Amino acid sequence: MEDITYQLEHYRETARHLWNTGYRALYTSFDEWDVYDEYEAVIAQLFRVFILQPLGRSDCVEQPDFEMPTEPFPFLFVEPAGVGSDIFINRRDSGSWDNKVKYINEGEAELRLIDYLDFDKLGTRDFEYYRVRITRFDNHPDLVGRNALVRVRGAKVLHNPAIEYVLPSPGKSARECVKAKFECARRDLEEALSRIEDADLGWSPREGMRTIAGQLLEIANKERETLDWIKTGVWRDDEPDAFDIHTATLADIRAALSALRVETYQYIDTLTYIQLEQRIPNPNRWREGLRVTDCPLSEVLRNIATHESYHTGQLFTYLWIRGDNPYNWQQPEDATLSAN
C-alpha cells in the first residue's frame, strides 16, 4: 500500500483554512447552518480534486455533484502509529464515543477512512479526528462494523490501489430510493385508475364515505400541501383543491396528479444527500408525523408516497366491492421501475 498522508494533510490544511478564515465570516449575513451546508459541499469537491482524482479513482469522481459518503472508502486505510494510540469507538445505541476499549496498537486492527470529524461543527475547525469504520479488530471482533475516531496527528493514511471499487454517489442513490418509492405507489394507483371511468367518480360504498373522486382528491391535496410545507416551512391546508371534485373528469384528475408529481420530482432532484437527511420540525397538524417532533426530510417525502398507497388501497377495496376482484387483474410481465 502507498502512504498518502501528505496528500490528506494538504487537503486538511486547505479545508480548515477555508472554514476558519472564510466561511465563518459569513455568519453575519446568512444563517450559520446554511453556511455550513454550503461549506460541506465545497470541501467534498476539494476531496474529490485533492485526493480521489490524483489516485486515479475516476470511478468515484466523475459525478459533478459528488458528496462525502457516510460509508468508508474501501481503498483508504487509517493506521495509528505506535503502541497505545487513542481510539474512541461509537456505541450502536447512541452518538457516544465511549466504548470501554480506549487504545489501539499498530497493526492490531483494520480501519477504513470515512471522513474527518470535529465535535464543534460551527466553531474553529481543526479536522482533529479521522472517522473510520472498523473492519478487523484482532482482540475485539465484537467491535467490527463500528465507527471510531482516531486522532489525525500521528496516524497515517494508506491507499491500496489493488482494491477495485465503484463508489456510488450517496446523493444520487438517496434521491433514486425516494423516487422509487413514489413510482411504486404511482404504479399501483395507475392500475386502479385503469379500472375506473368518468361515471364511477361519484361512487362510494356507502353514504358519508369518500367517493372515488374524493379519494383521488385526498391523494393530490396531501402531496401539494406537504410539498408546499417543506418548501416554505409553513403548513397551509386552506388552499384551493387540486381539482374540482364535482366537475373534473378522469383526464383532468390524471393531469393534476401528473403535474404535481413533476413538481415533486423537480424538487427532489435539487436535494443533496445532506439535505435529504436534514431533520425538520413536524407541524402539529401533520397527522403522519410519526408522533415525533422532527424527522429527516427524506422521511417526509416518503410519507407522501405512503399516503398515496394508503388511499390507493381503499380504491382497490372500492373496486372489489363493485365486483372487480384485484386478484383477477392481469399483472404486467415486468413490474420493475427505475427512478428517472
- 215-245 residue pLDDT tens: 999 999 999 999 998 888 788 778 899 999 9
Q: What is the mean pLDDT of the chain?
A: 84
Residue-number span of the structural domain to which 39 is assigned? 2-159
142 and 200, same domain (yes or no): no
Q: Does a structural domain hold residue 130?
A: yes
Domain-embedded: residue 186? yes
Q: Are residues 64 and 152 in the same domain?
A: yes
Backbone angles phi, psi at 139, to 5 degrees: -90, -5
Q: Is residue 195 part of a domain?
A: yes
Q: Please check whether residues 154 and 236 belong to one and the same domain.
A: no
Measured at the CA of 301, the angle between CA 299 and CA 302, to 5 degrees, comes to 65
Q: What is the pLDDT of residue 45?
A: 85
* Domain co-membership, 138 together with 64: yes
The residue with cell 470541501 is: 43
Same domain, 179 and 148: no
pTM of the predicted model, to two decimals? Answer: 0.53
Residue 150 sits in the same domain as residue 10: yes
237 and 148 housed in the same domain? no
Q: Is residue 335 part of a domain?
A: no
Helix, strand, coil percent content, the chain, rounded in steps of 5: 45, 15, 40
pLDDT of amino acid 172: 53
| In a domain? residue 269 | yes
Q: Is 228 exposed, middle or buried (0-12, 13-18, 19+ CB in 10 A)?
A: middle
Q: Are strands 109-117 and 129-137 parallel, antiparallel or unpaired?
A: antiparallel
The pLDDT tens digits for 159-198 are 998 887 655 555 456 788 899 999 999 999 999 999 999 9
For the sheet with 103-104, list strands across it.
2-3, 156-159, 76-79, 109-117, 129-137, 147-151, 85-89, 103-104
CATH number of the domain that residue 241 is part of = 1.20.120.450
On whether both 153 and 18 belong to a single domain, the answer is yes
Last residue of a domain, one of 159, 190, 218: 159
Q: What's CA 120's distance to the chain center, in Å?
A: 23
Quick one: 142 exposed, middle or buried, by C-beta within 10 A (0-12, 13-18, 19+)?
Answer: exposed
Q: Which of 123, 140, 159 is the last residue of a domain?
A: 159
**68 and 211 in one domain?**
no
Last residue of a domain, one of 159, 182, 215: 159
Q: For residues 212 and 194, give the distance between their C-alpha atoms in angstroms, rounded to a whole number.
A: 13
- The answer to whether residue 336 sits within a structural domain is no
Determine, yes or no, domain membership for 212. yes
Number of domains present in the structure of the chain: 2
Q: Are residues 262 and 131 in the same domain?
A: no
Residue ranges, the chain, pLDDT below 70: 27-29, 58-70, 92-95, 165-173, 273-274, 285-290, 331-340
For residue range 65-92, list pLDDT tens digits in order: 455 656 788 899 999 877 778 899 987 6
Q: Tell whether 199 and 51 lie within a shared domain.
A: no
CB 67 within 8 A of CB 60: no
Cα 176 from Cα 166, distance rounded (Å): 17
* Residues 252 and 109 occupy one common structural domain: no
